[in-house]
Amino acid sequence: MNRIGGIVVSIGLAAGFACAERTAPAVFHVDSKSGNDSAEGTSPEAAWLTLDKVNAAELIPGDKVLFKRGGLWRGQLLPKSGNESARILYGAYGDGAKPILQGSAARDQAGEWNEVRPGLWATQKFEPKLLDQSEDLRGAAWSKHNEGGAVVRLERMQEEGSAYTRITCEAAGKASNHIQLWGPTVTRLAPCLVLRLRARSTIPFTLESVRAIRNTAPYTTALAGHTRIKIDATWQTFDVVLMMHQAVEAPRLHINLGDILPAGAVFDFETFGLWEASVAHCTPIHLDVGILILNHGEKWGVKKWSLEEVKAPLDYWYDPEGKRLYLASAANPATAFSSVELALTRHIVNQGGKHDITYDGLAIRYGAAHGFGGGSTRRITIRNCDLSWIGGGLQYWKKRENGTRYPVRFGNAIEFWGGASDHLVERNRIWEVYDAALTNQGNGDDSNQTNITYRDNVIWNSEYSFEFWNRPESVVTSNVVFEFNTCVDAGICWSHAQRPNPNGAHLMFYPNPSKTTAFIVRNNIFCRSSDRCTRMWHAWGLAIHNNLYWSPDKPIMRWMEKTDYAAADFAKYQADLGFDKGSALAEPQFMNPAARDYRLKPGSPGSTLATDGGPVGARVQ
């Protein structure tokens, strides 16, 4: 096995049960301590070992993949789809704590850190060794896509016997995806590839990244490479190191220029080829680090965006080109802390395009994108899972009106993006999330979201407990129910002070132009927040009632970005907006909040507030 960036990658996978060899569903076991990927997996004694084996397995509808309780797997789960009559289950077996799927790389060995100057430590230097050329890309065709008001022209040029691509920017974009360049298909994937190209531009700009991605939704990334090359008027040849994210069929080279290519610029470039490279000797951190988690959450780092900003203790910067992390620390981090975990920017469970799946009894933690993420999903149940320390990785840079940029960071514990239907999220415990614990949201012509239920979940210390928005106007949102959830201390979390827009809220309802019906929020507890309980830009048909609020010093509602309804104005809020009939404002009496037991005591406010006369909040904890 190779240990790359703290992620175990298995090289030789057993064939196991091939789909064509069986029609009856099977139960597969995975044991992180004593498993073997050459085993059949069909009993605890013949369990598989790695996530790579699970991801490569050819499953059929009705199959179950069970992880041994007490085990831990680093990396990403890529689930398979079942069908409407037989789902695939990812669950647990044995005794002990929930099996952990962990999206972080460990850097807890003293030899993995070097002191580059007093008080500043860095992980190992990234020095890939070039191997054989895998593809010749001279003369490769490129195409362009522009949107959001950006306008570019693409031409093929000939000069001194060499062909190259010319991009003329007539109008710049405001977001990175407003100008996209699509290149040739990468036919041979490897853990590390080096793209060699040359480029010039009449107006200087800094090229930030090159990727190889799927060219249809959900646009999954296969390879990603970050660079900080300043492109100017002189031809220069340089390499971009592309690290493997996941296997994607026929990914294409892709460059986003929307927010970096200046209006009036003429950008010329030519690709030469791809080379395989070895990186096993230097264990690079090939993904952005969204959270630096120390002693399993006793402390955490503060993410900065340049080395110059790393000043105070536990400030850190991820160098995307050097693929290493710099940390301000008086001592070697591996000796100063018993555990050092670097949450990597990818979904821990990437279920984009999948359907007919149930997850039950898993612990999902330490991931810097989403816990469960991916668009275009159907008939998924997420039940009895623990999700913690999620988000914080760089998603993209957003441009302000004055031309400056700020980072937009992932992520959400459970997100249904774009088209989503017939989902159930119940009896989960979620804490320490950069953005939202739970959300369905989208932006596209296929972003119809129907029949989604969130119930009996316990959420604390997340910036938002529940976030929703959907667009454009042509799409439909219907039958979304958020009920019997207990939500505590929104915005009181690791990420709040690090955000460019700290605005903790239990319910964050951004502008929603979609055609929305039967969107219901009822029978919940919303207890304390850093900024407000609910933030809502406009009316779109929300039905909200029979909830218990406690917000002694923060507004209950921020309405249309101009009116704050304080706790003392609760009756006026109800009368003015017609919201929260049957709801109450009172302090819930929890059984043992210090131990995260948020069940209501008998006789507590809210114990008979629900629509059925019983208690509000999560009833199954």
Residue 223 domain-assigned (yes or no): yes
Interval 487-499: pLDDT, tens: 999 999 999 999 9
Same domain, 483 and 370: yes
pLDDT at 419: 97
Residue that is last in its domain, among 303, 323, 342: 342
Residue 124 domain-assigned (yes or no): no
Span of 159-168, 327-336, 558-567, 583-592 with lowest mean pLDDT: 159-168
pLDDT at 298: 98
pLDDT at 2: 35
Answer for the pair 211, 248: CB distance below 8 angstroms, yes or no.
Answer: no
Give the model's confidence band at 6: pLDDT under 50 very low, under 70 low, under 90 confident, else very high: very low
Same domain, 150 and 2: no
Q: How many C-beta atoms lie closer than 10 Å to residue 302's C-beta?
A: 17
pLDDT at 127: 86
pLDDT at 18 over 70: no
d(CA 569, CA 574): 9
E strand map for 368-457: 372-373, 375-383, 386-390, 394-399, 405-409, 414-426, 429-443, 449-455
Residue that is last in its domain, among 342, 371, 388: 342
Span of 20-24, 82-86, 98-102, 243-247 with lowest mean pLDDT: 20-24
Same domain, 74 and 166: no
What number is the average pLDDT over the span 388-405?
91
CA distances to 53, 247, 275, 284, 621 from 242, in Å: 24, 13, 10, 12, 44
pLDDT at 247: 84
Q: Where are the alpha helices (DSSP H) in 47-198?
A: 51-56
Give the model's confidence band at 365: pLDDT under 50 very low, under 70 low, under 90 confident, else very high: very high
Residue 475 domain-assigned (yes or no): yes
pLDDT at 1 over 90: no
Give the model's confidence band at 432: pLDDT under 50 very low, under 70 low, under 90 confident, else very high: very high
Give the model's confidence band at 160: pLDDT under 50 very low, under 70 low, under 90 confident, else very high: confident
Q: Name the DSSP letter for residue 110.
A: G
Interval 59-107: pLDDT, tens: 999 999 999 999 999 999 999 999 999 999 999 999 999 999 999 999 9
Residue that is last in its domain, among 254, 278, 302: 278
d(CA 280, CA 286): 12
d(CA 530, CA 464): 10
Same domain, 503 and 529: yes
Same domain, 402 and 335: no
Give the model's confidence band at 13: pLDDT under 50 very low, under 70 low, under 90 confident, else very high: very low
Interval 249-298: pLDDT, tens: 899 999 999 999 999 999 999 999 999 999 888 888 989 999 999 999 99
pTM: 0.86
Same domain, 395 and 542: yes
Q: Which domain holds residue 271?
A: 130-278
What number is the average pLDDT over the span 517-544?
98
pLDDT at 220: 86
Same domain, 475 and 593: yes
Beta-ladder partners of 220: none
d(CA 461, CA 529): 9
pLDDT at 191 over 70: yes
Residue 592 domain-assigned (yes or no): yes
Using left for φ > 0, alpha for ψ between -120 and 50, and beta otherwise, residue 94 falls in left
Same domain, 394 and 530: yes
- % of residues, the chain, pLDDT over 90: 87
CA dihedral 89, 90, 96, 102 (to 10 degrees): -170
Q: Which of residues 244 and 382 earns the better pLDDT score? A: 382
Residue 125 domain-assigned (yes or no): no
E strand map for 501-617: 505-509, 515-522, 525-529, 532-536, 542-545, 548-550, 557-559, 563-565, 584-585, 590-592, 597-600
Same domain, 146 and 162: yes
Residue located via tokens 């029979």: 546
Same domain, 330 and 361: no
Same domain, 564 and 486: yes
Give the model's confidence band at 226: pLDDT under 50 very low, under 70 low, under 90 confident, else very high: confident
Answer for the pair 397, 373: CB distance below 8 angstroms, yes or no.
Answer: no
Domain count, the chain: 4
d(CA 574, CA 566): 12
Same domain, 268 and 306: no
pLDDT at 446 over 50: yes
- % of residues, the chain, pLDDT over 70: 97
**With the C-alpha atoms ordered 86, 54, 342, 406, is the resulting torsion angle positive or negative?**
negative
**Domain CATH code at residue 453:** 2.160.20
Answer for the pair 346, 103: CB distance below 8 angstroms, yes or no.
Answer: yes
Give the model's confidence band at 217: pLDDT under 50 very low, under 70 low, under 90 confident, else very high: confident
Residue 188 domain-assigned (yes or no): yes
Answer for the pair 143, 181: CB distance below 8 angstroms, yes or no.
Answer: yes
How many Å from the N-terminal Cα to the C-terminal Cα in the chain?
Answer: 39
Q: Name the DSSP letter for residue 214.
A: -
**Domain CATH code at residue 171:** 2.60.120.260
pLDDT at 383: 99
Residue type, 461: N
